Amino acid sequence: MKTTLFATCAALALGLAACGGGEPAKPAEPTAPAAEVAPAPAPEVTPASTAGETPADVPGFMKTRHDNYEALGKNMKVLMDNMKAATPDMAAVTTAAAEVKKTADVMGTWFPAGTGPETGIKTGAKANIWTDRATFDAAVVKLQTEATALAAVTDAAGFKAQFPKTGGACKNCHDTFREEEKDH
Ligand code: HEC
């Protein structure tokens, strides 16, 4: 249980200063949502974590979250370009798909309490993420499932079959939980 939590924090630390809001990682408290983590053997798809504690640096956390989504968008663009190519560059596809999966696996931890539009900070995250958490978590798991399948493709045909499903999992969440960007 702790191992899984640390793995999540380690992966998260690559891009997002969560897991204790910049403080050294604390061991999980007995009431922590780690109970949601599935038991061994390690599943292909990890469940989305529950909301978690408000980070110490809320504006910084929210900026990092947005930056991480922009990075996710860039990886999807690489995949989209290869989708259009007659002969996809499978090395580039494999790298980008692995990044998408890595992001999907930690996305459920990006929305702790106190990091929504009620902060007054500009964000694309809608308030219903926090009021309809079960649906949101299901949307995260859907992306994890499709991103895991995408990361497992071994040839161009498999990639071209799986990419649209992965993109559909992005849209599935955006349609309900993301504010349209008005600025650009
Ligand atoms: C479970 C919900 C969910 C899933 C799945 C999801 N997103 Fe998002 N996405 C959001 C939310 C919420 C925001 C707004 C976040 C913010 O402003 O901090 C966002 C913002 C973004 C942004 C930032 C720019 C903008 O339009 O706001 C990009 C780019 C993006 N997502 C791409 C993707 C891609 C690509 C995928 C699929 C690989 C994906 N997202 C999957 C919820 C999701």
Record the pTM.
0.78
Class of domain 56-177: mainly alpha
The pLDDT, as a whole number, for residue 175 is 98
CA distance 184 to 171: 18
Q: What is the mean pLDDT of residues 86-104?
A: 98
Q: Is 83's pLDDT higher than 60? A: yes
Q: What is the average pLDDT score of the chain?
A: 81
Ligand 1 atom showing the smallest separation from residue 103 Cα? 38
Q: Is 176's pLDDT higher than 70? A: yes
Which sequence spans correspond to the domains of the chain?
56-177
The reply to whether ligand 1 has any atom less than 6 angstroms from the CB of 72 is: yes
Q: Which of 67, 109, 146, 170 to mutate to test the pocket of ligand 1 (most atoms within 8 A of CB)?
A: 170
Question: Ligand 1 centroid to 73 CA: how many Å?
Answer: 8
In single-letter form, the type of residue at position 92 comes to A
The pLDDT, as a whole number, for residue 24 is 44
CA distance 57 to 151: 33
Phi, psi for residue 100 in degrees, rounded to 5: -60, -45
- Written as six digits, the tokens of 122 are 């500009």
Q: Is 77's pLDDT higher than 80? A: yes
In single-letter form, the type of residue at position 133 comes to R
Q: Is the dihedral of CA 139, 142, 146, 149 positive or negative?
A: positive
Q: What is the mean pLDDT of residues 90-94?
A: 98
> Residue 56: pLDDT band by 50, 70, 90 thresholds?
very high
The pLDDT, as a whole number, for residue 2 is 41
Nearest CA to ligand 1 atom 35: 73
Phi, psi for residue 181 in degrees, rounded to 5: -75, 125
